[in-house]
Amino acid sequence: MFRYFSLAFKNSLRNRRRSVLTISSIAVSLCLLGVLIAIYHALFFGQETPGQALRLVTRHKVSLAQPIPAAYEDKIRAVRGVKEVSPWNWYGGTYKDNRDPNNFFARMGVDPKAFMAIRTQMEMPEDQRRAFITDQTGCVVSSDLADKLHFKVGDRITLIGDIYPGDLELKVVGIFTDPDAQDTLFFNIKYLRESLPIARRSFDSTIAILADSPEDVPRIAKTIDDMFAESPRPTKTESEQQFALSFVSFLGNIKLFLMSICAAVTFTILLVSGNTMAMSVRERIREVGILKTLGFTRDAILGMIIGEAIVIALIGGAIGLVLASVLAVGVGHSAGRFGIAGLQHMSLTPSTLAICLAVAAAIGLISSWVPAWNAARTNILDSLRYSG
């Protein structure tokens, strides 16, 4: 087949309009396939950052909507291997106009000192760290959120309560960078608790935990869950990455969902490529007869037709992967705003590129095999008599 590569390449461009349309279809399909595989890889095989490897999250075993007692904090802190503990309360609320998607960002109440000890990769000037600890109405925002909403140190922010009664009047005292936190605002949980009725002050949404080492993480998770297994509010403790991934599970069986779409996309490309090759071969039956009279063997003809299909598929696949690389970055950035594990760093890995190109080549081979085999085994007289 490689001996006649140049001839196969020229044949692939003989009907330029059809070839361009086929290449475009394959490019769009491979682009979608590449992004889906990248999402699957990022979600289920992505590597934890150094900070995530040390952090766990404890929540109610039944649902995130169910709070857990704040008294659990001290009990968890006493577990061997636990270095630091901080309550995390999702405040929700409304900033300005909630109809504007730019105004949606995470708003979390935390214990400032413990929080900053747990966020080992957080970078923020020391004076801003001190201000966050000492100013009860102070808050800190991620640098990307500050850039998007033009926040700066000293600004006042009002959050209108919905989950919790009452509004919060906050002052921006710091702007931080953290690879594991995007579009996020953190404020002092003490300020929130003092604004609540007494009955609601003693509950947390989740409890963040910092372990001494990654090796301690599985043992700590089991110890905590066993500790509260028989309590009225049992817990589920998991790594920070698994916790963030649990939000994706709200959509259902995401693995089956992604794999089903990938299979449908691959099958669609196969139909498009197969139809193209069938039309192309039918148009050249007489040419096949002439090639045989010139001494071309059955294997040579078979190789040229299959090579033509593979060339078209690989060109479309290469273009699609370029588009997918750009799209994956955009999808990752958008997903990172919602804290979906791993997706904020999503990209097309070398293995994803190799898989997609292999799929493109396989589609070219499979879609052209039957028409190529039929053309190659047609005898010379039948080929020359063929009128299309």
Residues 67-122: pLDDT tens digits? 999 999 999 999 999 999 999 988 888 898 877 877 888 899 999 999 999 998 89
Q: How far apart are CA 211 and CA 238, in angstroms?
A: 12
Q: Model's pTM, two decimal places?
A: 0.66
Work out the mean pLDDT of the chain and round it to a whole number: 83
In a domain, 99, yes or no: yes
Residue 229 covered by a domain = no
Confidence of residue 194 (pLDDT cuts 50, 70, 90): confident
Which of 213, 236, 262 marks a domain boundary?
213
Is the distance from CB of 209 to CB of 76 less than 8 angstroms?
A: yes
What residues have CB less than 8 Å from 5, skipping those under 6 apart? 307
Cα distances (Å, whole numbers) of residue 238 to 76, 205, 223, 373: 14, 15, 12, 55
Residue 335 CA: distances (Å) to CA of 49, 175, 344, 349? 17, 21, 6, 18
Do residues 205 and 258 share a domain? no
The answer to whether residue 74 is domain-embedded is no
Q: Kindly state whether residue 246 falls inside one of the protein's structural domains.
A: no
Q: Answer yes or no: do 203 and 264 share one domain.
A: no
Is the pLDDT confidence value at 44 over 60? yes
Same domain as 381, residue 279: yes
Long-range contacts of the stretch 190-199 (C-beta < 8 A, 24+): 190/111, 190/136, 191/109, 191/136, 191/137, 192/89, 192/91, 192/109, 192/164, 192/168, 193/109, 195/164, 195/165, 195/166, 195/168, 196/164, 196/165, 196/166, 197/165
Point out the domain boundary residue: 182, 213, 244. 213
Paired residues of 49 in beta bridges: none
What is the total count of domains within the chain?
A: 2
Residues 103 and 202 in one domain: yes
User: Pairing state of beta strands 156-160 and 106-110?
Assistant: unpaired
136: containing domain: 82-213
Enter the tokens of residue 298: 């059955």
| Rounded-to-integer distance, Cα 140 and Cα 371, Å | 65
Q: Is residue 29 part of a domain?
A: yes
Same domain? For 257 and 381 the reply is yes
Decide if 67 is inside a domain: no
Decide which of 344 and 204 is more confident: 204
| Residues 160 and 38 placed together within one structural domain of the fold | no
Residue 346, both tokens: 């999503």
Same domain, 157 and 258: no
Q: What is the pLDDT of residue 332?
A: 66
210 neighbors 84 (Cβ within 8 angstroms) = yes
The predicted model gives 347-366 an average pLDDT of 85
Q: Are 32 and 87 part of one and the same domain?
A: no
Query: Do residues 41 and 89 both lie within one domain?
Result: no
| Distance from chain centroid for Cα 191 | 35
Residue 234 lies in a domain: no
Residue 229 is predicted with a pLDDT of 93
For 108, other C-beta atoms within 10 Å of its C-beta total 21
What tokens appear for 208 in the block?
A: 């963040």
For the chain, give the number of residues: 388
Query: Is pLDDT above 60 for 336?
Result: no
Stronger pLDDT, 55 or 303, i.e. the higher one: 55
d(CA 133, CA 124): 13
Residues 103 and 162 grouped into a single domain: yes
3-state DSSP: the chain helix, strand, coil percent, rounded to 5? 60, 15, 25
103 and 21: one domain?
no
Dihedral of CA atoms 363, 366, 367, 369 in degrees, nearest 10, equals: 150
Same domain as 127, residue 23: no
In a domain, 66, yes or no: no
Q: Is the pLDDT of residue 388 over 70?
A: no
